[in-house]
Structure 1
Amino acid sequence: MDAWFRQDGYQVRLEWGPDGVTALGADCAVLVIVDVLSFTTSVDIAVGRGARIMPLRWKDEAAAANARRAGLPVGETFGKELSLRPSSLTAIEAGTTLALPSANGATLCDLASKTGAHVLTGCLRNADAVAARARELAGDRPVGIIAGGERWLLPGDPLRPCWEDLLGAGAIVSALPDGRSPEAEMAARTYRATGASLLHECVGAKELIAAGYPDDVRLATEVNVSTATPLLRDGFLS
């Protein structure tokens, strides 16, 4: 891939989705996965309470079956006791290991793990803490922020860049030093201009609220209330 697609020459870079992992994973020492509604918010809450999350690719039945054989609960859908819903994890017990599939955040974690980079997950709740951990892990090498985006319900599941992940990525970039690519700087300026004030009005938030999950949106809009820095090691975020 040509150097300009990798945002060569910048210490802080930003891209979207699986292709972004491929582009930035070639050079970056750290990749930070951002999927605010809901995977990385759920991970922050779980890890902050002393649990571990095994990210599973979406619709990977073999991986889910392996997790069940290992005795791990699999939080497959909204509505279960432990699930992708952030509000379902606010009382998760320390020491719990939960396998958690998602179409964006968990799948991107799996992709990023194959690049050789350190993989962190971040959201609005832990933006400053994750930025500090990323700087520590990267040393003098670049940090890549991967905004997960959502999926259009169309053939091929095309990527839909979304407001909530732009804000989450921008919050993390804002806490990182200068040397930002234009793409990263744009996200930081957007976050500084709006904060999280409009998140509950975006498409993803309205979808969750209409489905009866306003608490999940409320948890996702909290900014820097957590010091958890979920790092993927040996297949688990902790």
Structure 2
Amino acid sequence: MGIWEQTGYDVRLDWGGEGVAALGRECAVLVVVDVLSFGTTTDLVVARGGRVLPVRRRDERGVTLARAAGAVVAGEGEFTLRPSSVTEIPPGTLLALPSPNGATLCDAAAATGARVLAGCLRNASAVAARARELGGPIGLIAAGERWGVNIFGDGDTSGSLRPCVEDLAGAGAIAAALAGYGLSLSPEAVLAARSVDAAAVASCVSGRELIESGHGGDVELATQTDVSATAPVLNEGVLA
């Protein structure tokens, strides 16, 4: 039995890059959950008919390749990692979205050979349904934050993983939806499913950081639950 892989369960849950490495050894599907803000921004872009190209943070080569592919690079114009910046993004836009957590984990998850989805609170049920269609086992990856890095991705990403309320809630909402299909949940996924509290996101460390920086609208967008039918799937490096 693979202890770290949570073998024997249809739905499993772990955190960050180490979680990707562990669950990716057995899971056919990996769902990266980064509620503030990569997963939420991705949902909004794809819901408007756009596409997202995840780029690892400070990956200049990745940004150069994205430009060559015709992508608009977030942070170089009106579009950023913030959800509120993309609510009116034109359909058809390919947005290169650098992110220290969600984008980086999507890249790592793809390297395992698993099918990769990006999830959040907004699209929890839609992502669960699509993940189930793709097969299993399904691994939920709560992205978490990094000590020493703020919510905007500024700081040294070598800091250790900081598990966070928002990604526990997002992964838990997806786990709860998957349980509704009769799939078995690992104890880790069960605990997350019991801990879904979107309202707590606004008062947790990450939520307060955004609100106190004047970005309460981003928190409001991120905490809306099951308002989207979008389930972004990574194909050839692009989420659509």
TM value normalised by structure 2: 0.93
1:184 partnered with 2:189:
yes
- Give the aligned CA root-mean-square deviation in angstroms: 1.3
Matches within 5 A, 1:195-234: 195-234=197-236
Match of 1:149 in 2: 144
Structure 1: state its 5+ residue gaps: none
CA contact (8 A) 2:39 2:120 kept: yes
Structure 2: state its 5+ residue gaps: 150-155
* % same residue: 56
CA contact (8 A) 2:175 2:189 kept: yes
Match of 1:20 in 2: 19
Q: Which AA in structure 2 matches 1:231? A: V
Aligned positions, number:
230
Match of 1:96 in 2: 93
> How many angstroms does 1:145 deviate by?
0.2
Matches within 5 A, 1:38-187: 38-76=37-75, 80-138=77-135, 141-153=136-148, 156-177=158-179, 178-187=183-192
> How many angstroms does 1:69 deviate by?
2.9
CA contact (8 A) 2:120 2:170 kept: yes
1:10 partnered with 2:9:
yes
Match of 2:152 in 1: none
Question: Distance between the aligned counterparts of 1:159 and 1:65, measured in 2?
Answer: 28
> 1:157-203 CA deviation, whole Å, 9 max, x = no partner?
11100000000000000001341111000000111xxx312110010
SS in 2 for 1:146: strand
Detail structure 1 runs of 4+ shifted over 4 Å in the superposition: none
> How many angstroms does 1:71 deviate by?
3.0
